Amino acid sequence: MGPFFKIFLFFIFTLAACGQAQAKLYVVTTTTDLRALVSEIGQEFVTVDSIAKGTQDPHYIEAKPSFMTKVNRADLLISIGLDLEIGWLPNIIQGARNPKVLKGQKGYLEVGPLVEPLEVPTGKISRAQGDVHPDGNPHVTLDPIRVGQIALFIAERLGQLDLEHQEIFIKNAKIMQTRLQDKVKIWQATIDQSGVKKIVTYHKTLSYFLNRFNLENSAILEPKPGIPPTSGHIIEIIQQIKEQKIPLILVENYFDPTVTEKIKNRVPTVRSATVMVAVDGGPNVSTLDALFEHLVDTINGR
Amino acid sequence: MNTFVKVFMIIIFGIPVAWSQNPQTRGKVFNPDISANFLGLFQRGTALSEDRTQVPHNGLSLQEAELQFTSDVDAYFKGTALLGIAQESGSTEYGIDPEEVYFETLNLPHVTLRAGQFKLALGKHNTLHPHAYPFIDAPLIHQQLTGDEGLVESALSAAILLPTSWYSELILQVITLSNEDLFQSPSSGQTGTLAHFKNLWDLTDDLTLEIGLSGVTGKNQFAKTSTLLAGDLTFKWRPAEGGKYHAFIWSSEFLDGKRKGLTDEVTGDSAEHLGGMATWIQYQFAARWWVQTRYEKMGLPHPASIPSQEKQSALLAFYPSEFSGFRFQYDHLKTQGSADDDHTFSLQFNISVGAHPAHVY
């Protein structure tokens, strides 16, 4: 046996021995919204980290090797799916070398496909349509009702991995779901009072939120998903805002908001705001409830 | 069956897996991810030939096309085949080369085993394909020591993620010795070895530091030993806020090659020891725009028979999307003993179709 093979075998068996059980479940999530969910459901029985930060566009995260180190130690990896993380998560999973979190294993959970995605394209799609998601819009965690459903899926999976605390996880998820269902009624009333019915956004990030609260996403500043606004498209948007009397433009906080200045110069009555669209997207938004309240308050002009 | 193969089989097949059974047994779902990439190039250079059989040459050309097929093979392995189509020097014909064809393990803890033909883990640049090069061309020292294609060999590889709090990876490879510039071993039975040690630290949420050390050794055509050592250092900054619009990368790579027995064909002088370095900066100043600069020194040290070279490059890149890019590059090359410097202007388009690319950090 040559020296290379001896070294090789030494590392294989040494590292295999490193996979010892941890006291608490260690969960890695792709987004901060999912991290907030796991944190509330798992409480002191779970340690959780997110790969993306709340200030980052989750479509374009870089597959930093340090994320692979985290996923290597994870008992559970939770992602949105629906191709949100397609540009970076496969590399992280491949580099993590952790068989527990491979697709199909108990340690891998994709929540987006479980909660009836919106905007699933029909007919033939191509990249000429921009950055389309063939299985639907992936920003599912901006709907409080779907968040409640996701909480139950996460609790169920946590319970499978930690039978001892299964009931606590399910109980916490149900409490969260009920709380959000109750708050949706209050938030709906607040939005209704604002008089806002139509909103322009930069990207289709807020589709689920707007759909839940019966708001119309009348126009998108991106001419196509993932394509930055062009002058010609902005002129069309200005025309739409004037004709449809759209009162509000919301720009997700990882996009450049300066484009709205041009619109406001031409339509002084339109209001624009930069909004956080993920937990920890800014100060005082460290929970999903706070995130939804921030969005409701912004629409309401507070 | 030798000991290594027995252990390999036990490790691979002895680990229980619990893949969910997909009821769909036919149709597109099992097709591999397929993508094609092509690089078009227009060049105008004082040292470039007007002869279109030369690579590179003045004027328009298809620099390279690549076809990639990737898929899980079964519950144990993932397979990748990457075929390169490029012009053969001395002809206007294009040939197909299996740039990388390999399979690797999916479900081993802490380690990925790989077998096949692939780009060896020597430094950082050698693992890149031309469409992912930071500049239109490879650094001079890489071209000089490992050839136009880089160091590609049939090999067995173990990439081990070490149990540290930062990213630390050790790659060990047993390789064939066919590379014409470094080895060209006459015996197909001879093998060489390669080791690569890569470490990456998150200095802050926005800034990473990567340090890599690697070395490869094996017998060459003179029945002596060729050894190539490489060191690489990369700082990468992309802010968590505003990171769609700004990023900064500073990379450096140093190669030192000793090809024992190599002599200058004309003078007979030794040409054994050759080293060099390249350092480059990439700055993203808008969502789709990058500006870059590179300095290279080939000949640190260098034998008398190989003149040293210094090169400065500047590049402006525009990427309309993740799938298309246009790059304009200017190179200034100064060669020891040459009265005239060389100047080259290059315009490249880089187009990808098919499966979404996975972005390597």
pLDDT exceeding 90 applies to what percent of chain A?
87
* Shared-domain flag, residues A47 and A133: yes
- Report angle CA A55, B249, B167 to the nearest 5 degrees: 75
Q: Among residues A123, A157, A177, which one ends one of the domains?
A: A177
- Indicate if the pLDDT at residue A208 is higher than 60: yes
Compare all CA atoms of chain B with the CA of A94 and give the residue at the minimum distance: B106
Nearest Cα to Cα of residue A120 among A135, A99, A98? A135
- The stretch A243-262 carries a mean pLDDT of 93
Nearest Cα to Cα of residue A206 among A105, A276, A259, A265? A276
- For chains A and B, CB pairs below 8 A equal 131
* Shared-domain flag, residues A84 and A166: yes
3-state secondary structure of B235: strand
Residues of A in contact with B11 (CB under 8 A): 12
Q: What pLDDT is stored for residue A58 in this prediction?
A: 95
Rounded to whole angstroms, what are the CA distances from B128 to A177, B122, B138? 47, 11, 10
Q: What pLDDT is stored for residue B221 in this prediction?
A: 95
Residues of B in contact with A9 (CB under 8 A): 7
- Indicate if the pLDDT at residue A14 is higher than 90: no
- No. of H helices and E strands in chain B? 2, 16
* Shared-domain flag, residues A172 and A193: no
Nearest Cα to Cα of residue A199 among A270, A302, A293, A141? A270
Tokens of A35: 């991290």
CATH of B31-354, one of 3.40.47.10, 3.40.50.1970, 3.40.50.620, 2.40.160.10: 2.40.160.10
Cβ <8 Å between A87 and B20: no
- Indicate if the pLDDT at residue A201 is higher than 60: yes
A5 is a domain residue = no
- Domain with A71, as residue range(s), is 19-177
Per the prediction, chain A carries an average pLDDT of 92
Q: What pLDDT is stored for residue B265 in this prediction?
A: 83
A110 is a domain residue = yes
Cβ of residue A9 closer than 8 Å to a chain B Cβ: yes
Contacts 24+ apart (CB under 8 A), A167-173: A168/A43, A168/A45, A169/A41, A169/A42, A169/A45, A172/A40, A172/A41, A172/A42, A172/A43, A173/A41, A173/A148
A182 is a domain residue = no
| Greater pLDDT, B243 or A142 | A142
Q: Across the interface, which of A8, A88, A96 has its CB nearest the CB of B172?
A: A8
b (16+ CB within 10 A) / e for A151-173: bbbbbebbbebbeebeebbbebb
Phi, psi values for residue B168, rounded to 5°: -140, 120
* Shared-domain flag, residues A214 and A169: no
pLDDT exceeding 70 applies to what percent of chain A?
93
Cβ of residue A129 closer than 8 Å to a chain B Cβ: no
Distance from CA of B107 to the nearest CA of A (A): 5
A3 is a domain residue = no
A14 is a domain residue = no
Q: How far apart are CA A235 and CA B281, in angstroms?
A: 38
Q: Among residues A146, A177, A208, which one ends one of the domains?
A: A177
Cβ <8 Å between B165 and A16: no
Q: Across the interface, which of A1, A53, A66 has its CB nearest the CB of B166?
A: A66
Residues of A in contact with B240 (CB under 8 A): 53, 55-56
Q: Across the interface, which of A19, A102, A254 has its CB nearest the CB of B244?
A: A254
Q: Among residues A149, A177, A205, which one ends one of the domains?
A: A177
> pLDDT tens digit string along A22-55?
579 999 999 999 999 999 999 999 999 999 999 9
Tokens of A184: 């949706």
> pLDDT tens digit string along A280-301?
999 999 999 999 999 999 999 8
Q: How far apart are CA B38 and CA B324, in angstroms?
A: 10
* Shared-domain flag, residues A64 and A151: yes
DSSP state of A88: T
Q: What pLDDT is stored for residue B264 in this prediction?
A: 87
* Shared-domain flag, residues A46 and A156: yes
* Shared-domain flag, residues A30 and A117: yes
Residue from B127, B202, B285, B361 to probe the interface with A (highest A Cβ count within 10 Å):
B361
Residue from A55, A57, A69 to probe the interface with B (highest B Cβ count within 10 Å):
A69
In chain A, how many domains are there? 2
Within 8 A by CB and 6+ apart from B268, the residues are none
Alpha helices in chain A (DSSP H): 3-16, 32-42, 65-73, 89-96, 144-161, 166-194, 207-212, 231-244, 259-266, 288-299
A8 is a domain residue = no
Cβ of residue A5 closer than 8 Å to a chain B Cβ: yes
Nearest Cα to Cα of residue B89 among B117, B66, B67, B61? B61
* Shared-domain flag, residues A91 and A207: no
Q: What pLDDT is stored for residue A11 in this prediction?
A: 52
A71 is a domain residue = yes
Q: What pLDDT is stored for residue B279 in this prediction?
A: 98
- The CATH number assigned to the domain holding A123 equals 3.40.50.1980
Q: Which amino acid is at A175?
A: I
A111 is a domain residue = yes
Contact present, B237 and B249 (Cβ < 8 Å): yes
* Shared-domain flag, residues A201 and A169: no
Q: How far apart are CA B353 and CA B355, in angstroms?
A: 7
* Shared-domain flag, residues A68 and A197: no
Q: What pLDDT is stored for residue A39 in this prediction?
A: 98
pTM of the model: 0.89
Q: What is the mean pLDDT of each run of 10 residues along chain B (361 residues)?
A: 46 41 57 94 95 93 95 94 93 94 96 98 95 96 94 98 96 97 92 98 97 98 97 97 94 97 88 96 96 96 92 98 96 95 97 83 85
Residue from A7, A26, A64 to probe the interface with B (highest B Cβ count within 10 Å):
A64
DSSP state of B257: E
Distance of CA B111 to the CA centre of its chain: 21
- The stretch A84-102 carries a mean pLDDT of 96
Contact present, B126 and B119 (Cβ < 8 Å): yes
